[in-house]
């Protein structure tokens, strides 16, 4: 039995350290968010119905259809696997063709996600040269290349 004061204090410190460590681990693991590719989504959708999904892919050009606050579009993975997305809400400013997005939502059928959030993912690779014509980057580069006219004073 723990009769000495020192033994009780050491036991209390060990239990407190373990509890704090467990809480920190749970908090860190819940804040880490992974996403699957459209290819992985297509493979796993039959196994997990009614699950929340995070899927990342590039917005396919010419598939964006906006109707008020609702927007529908397709995303594609690295191997051109496509899936359709529907979202009601405000899309991020950089949303457009070729943007890499991470979609979170529920799937109501194979190949489709009803999104609750759309996030633009920061690219970790930068390419030298010219941007893909019609992409968000090419529009930004066009704006930087053309100088703004100086204001006309009176």
Q: What is the mean pLDDT of residues 46-74?
A: 86
For the full predicted model, state whether its pTM sits above 0.85: no
Please state, rounded to an integer, the average pLDDT across all residues of the chain. 79
Q: Domain 38-123 is in which class?
A: mainly beta
Q: What is the mean pLDDT of residues 35-49?
A: 78
> What's residue 115's pLDDT?
93
As a whole number of angstroms, the distance between CA 103 and CA 39 comes to: 14
Least confident among 41-50, 112-121, 130-139: 130-139
> What's residue 142's pLDDT?
52
Q: Does the pLDDT value for residue 33 go beyond 80?
A: no
**Where residue 116 falls among pLDDT bands split at 50, 70, 90?**
very high
């Amino acid at each position: 039995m723990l009769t000495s004061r020192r033994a009780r204090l050491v036991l209390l410190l060990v239990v407190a350290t373990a509890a704090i460590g467990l809480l920190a681990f749970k908090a860190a693991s819940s804040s880490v968010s992974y996403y699957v590719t459209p290819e992985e989504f297509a493979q796993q959708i039959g196994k997990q119905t009614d699950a929340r999904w995070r899927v990342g892919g590039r917005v396919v050009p010419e598939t964006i259809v906006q109707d008020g606050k609702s927007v529908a579009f397709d995303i594609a993975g690295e191997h051109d696997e496509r899936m359709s997305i529907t979202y009601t809400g405000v899309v991020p400013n950089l949303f457009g063709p070729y943007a890499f997005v991470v979609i979170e939502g529920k799937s109501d059928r194979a190949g489709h996600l009803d999104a609750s959030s759309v996030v633009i993912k920061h690219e970790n690779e930068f390419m030298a040269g010219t941007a893909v014509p019609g992409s968000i980057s090419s529009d930004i580069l066009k704006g930087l290349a053309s100088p703004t006219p100086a204001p006309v004073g009176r």
